[in-house]
Amino acid sequence: MGDSNEPILKVKDLGVVFNDIKLGLIALESITFDVKESEFVSIIGPSGCGKSTLFKLLADLIDSDGINAGISGNIEVLGHSPEYARKNRKLGVVFQKPTLLEWRDIRSNVALPLEIMRVNRSEIKQRVDELLAMVGLESYGSFRPSQLSGGMQQRISIARALAYDPDILLMDEPFSALDEIKRREMNDSLLRIWKQTGKTILFVTHSIQEAVYLSERIIVLSERPGKVKDILEIPMKYPRDKYLDSDQYFDLQNKVRHALSK
C-alpha cells in the first residue's frame, strides 16, 4: 500500500548503551532503516534483542537521563524528533496490553485523548462513532473494558490510538496474548483499518507468520546487541488470506527464519 518514495520515519546509526546497573550493556548498535508514508513495516527479532527499547525510543517513551543510557545516532519523525512528534500528536501508540480505564465505558475510553485536547462534545461524539464503527464495536460503547474479550479490548486500544488522527501508528506486539484464531482475526481487522485509514504502521512482533502475513517489509534484528541483519520485501498482494496454503507464504516464512538464524 505504501506508494510514496519519501520516508516518513528515519533511523540512522542508532545505538543504545545502558550505563546504570547494567553497566556497559549495549542494547542496540548501528540501527539504520526508514519507513515510507502509508507503509506497513514489521520489526522482528529474538527475545532480548532490543525491540522494546527501539519501540520506546521511536515513541518517545524513554527518559534517557532517568535511565542513564548512552544514546547515539538519530531518529526523525516527519523531519522532527520523536519528542516533537509525540507532543504534536503525530504518533499513535498501541501496547501489548490494552491499558484501558475500567472506570470509563468504551466510548469514554476512546474519547479520552479528544477530551484532553478539549475538542467540543459534538465532534467527540462523531469521531468516537466513526472509530467504533471502524473497529466493528459500535454496539459496545456502554460496556466496561472487563466485559469485553482481550481481542475486543485491543481493538478499542487501536481506536483510541487513532482518535486524534496521528500520521504513524506504532504497535508493540499488540496481539501476542491472543490465541491463534483470535490473532488471525485481529490481523485481518488491522489490515482492514490500515487500508481504510492509509496510516503508516510500524509493528513489533516475535511471530514470523504474523510478520509475513501483515507486512510489506520486515526489519530483522540480531541477538543483543540488536543490529539490522536484513530488511526483507514481502511481495504478496493483499488480501493475504488467499496465500495461507501457498508455497510462496511458506517460502517467505523460511526466508525470515533463515535471516533470524544466520
Q: Which of 259, 260, 261, 252 is nearest to 233 (CA)?
A: 252
What pLDDT shows up at residue 132? 96
Query: What's the mean pLDDT when you consider all of the chain?
Result: 91
pLDDT in tens, 34-67: 999 999 999 999 988 889 899 999 999 876 555 5
Mean pLDDT of 109-122: 94
Q: Is the pLDDT of residue 1 over 70?
A: no
Residue with the bigger pLDDT between 102 and 2: it is 102
pLDDT in tens, 203-254: 999 999 999 999 999 999 999 889 999 999 999 999 999 999 999 999 999 9
Binning pLDDT at 50, 70 and 90, where does residue 71 land?
confident
Measured distance CA(204)–CA(173) in Å, rounded: 5
Binning pLDDT at 50, 70 and 90, where does residue 21 land?
low
Binning pLDDT at 50, 70 and 90, where does residue 173 land?
very high
The answer to whether 24 and 193 have CB atoms below 8 angstroms apart is no
Residue with the bigger pLDDT between 5 and 144: it is 144
What would the DSSP string read from start to end of 110-144? HHHHHHHTT--HHHHHHHHHHHHHHTT-GGGTTS-
Measured distance CA(213)–CA(188) in Å, rounded: 9
The answer to whether 18 and 69 have CB atoms below 8 angstroms apart is yes
Q: Is the pLDDT of residue 126 over 60?
A: yes
- The bridge status of strand 217-221 relative to strand 40-44 is parallel
Binning pLDDT at 50, 70 and 90, where does residue 131 land?
very high
pLDDT > 70 in the chain, percent: 94
